[in-house]
Structure 1
């Protein structure tokens, strides 16, 4: 039976430590044993024959620099409270592939499970953060966890020097998504899979939200709170927000019924108004089904009739984003 060649695994950090040791005068053999790196491999890299981050096997679809940029971005959004990274990562890679028009084996330029697994193996620091975030996103909501979340937001705001933003309600924004059906039975939806996609959310922020901020002379930076289970955040959107001083912050996952003003007070009357609006549309149009071209005008009428200023005010009053003097206070929500 032929012998099976064992491939020794080591991280880029281990390789860097080993090279540093060699530069300090430690022999290649000793450094090789200490950091469990093949001696010949370490020798070649110490002589500069191969790059430090050069790996065995076929070339990856993304370059090492491109993967580094992705990792840095994913860790940054994790700091902002976004618990899941798989969908965001795959969406972002798909956008990168589409823009680069680089030949790849991905279906529709979107990587699959195998690529994702290999990517995490190459980036162990990201794998560890993913495990932590998934545990958090699947946990039940209680007062202790929400208090901890407020503390984390406090620390994040301080680290970004955004304290003045939270003293000005005009610079704090909140967005959420919901589905509007084209028929009373809820068979057809406007968005693929009936939910927000990364591209549609990007278009909302870049074509609607940001122009509105500019047109209304809102002082930047601003804080934009989004659903903590947001699967439509992409690196493309994050880059746009950084360039335009829009700070994306995730609400605590599984707590939209507590922390989301739109869920608390706005969506319920809006959904009821939408059902009535569709019924009236059919009565006025001899039973004709609602088409996409009718959606926008009808929704505008329904919103004007269903959402009053006091409803929005009550939703934000039930919500709670603390100022610097109120970090240790929570509303009576439990």
Structure 2
């Protein structure tokens, strides 16, 4: 039966949910053709409505497929309600909501969340809503630095070199440094790449080693894949382990040359002033991912060989 005569050519019609529900109920009680004749609606449109209803009914039967977390109960319902309220406030204010902002807000609502998986030893984790260093976090870093630095606490003088960032130069920070017997050397703006050891030669091998651990982790399967087939990101705990391992692999000679290149720890008699102009201390940036990491690996191999030799000597003496 050709029911196209019920639809005027070129005319676009819309139907409310109640009207669609009435048509679907009639079609299920009889069939799509009779419903099309009765209501004067295109049969293909009715078939689409009926198919959509069946799909929704199937989803309702399998509730896990339409719930985040596979339908599990909330672990922390009170905290999730607060987070959802914040989410609605952001939407009403027409502000963007990213994964990182959502995570940071969650940590604010539930401070104990950062203690769920403690970081590896010898590393501290701090976060800021905007990913920025402020006076509060700088003060925390200063206290931790004073406790862990070599030498007697507050007795042996220490020279601290960093850039002229606003959070580094507040009166409270300067007063704290003075109490811990720390002399500050501020690098003028625009000269960080020339006067800061990290930028001169330390960051390059460190990032190369860190990238190597990341590539090795991905090559070994990583954390698996998502439902859509994408690689899952590494956990914060895993990344912290990479950072520690990458730092341990840095050749101490690279760090020493970086300080001499910046004229911080050079001999006072001027015998090491030539190292200021030694470009080899900066490394080859173009081959950062290969050559620098290779040098570090050779250094680590030499250390391991020395340890093996010492073990052999001990065994021989024992025999």
TM bracket, shorter-chain basis: 0.3 to 0.5
Q: Give the number of the structure whose alpha-carbon radius of gyration is greater.
A: 2
- Per the normalisation by structure 2, the TM-score is 0.38
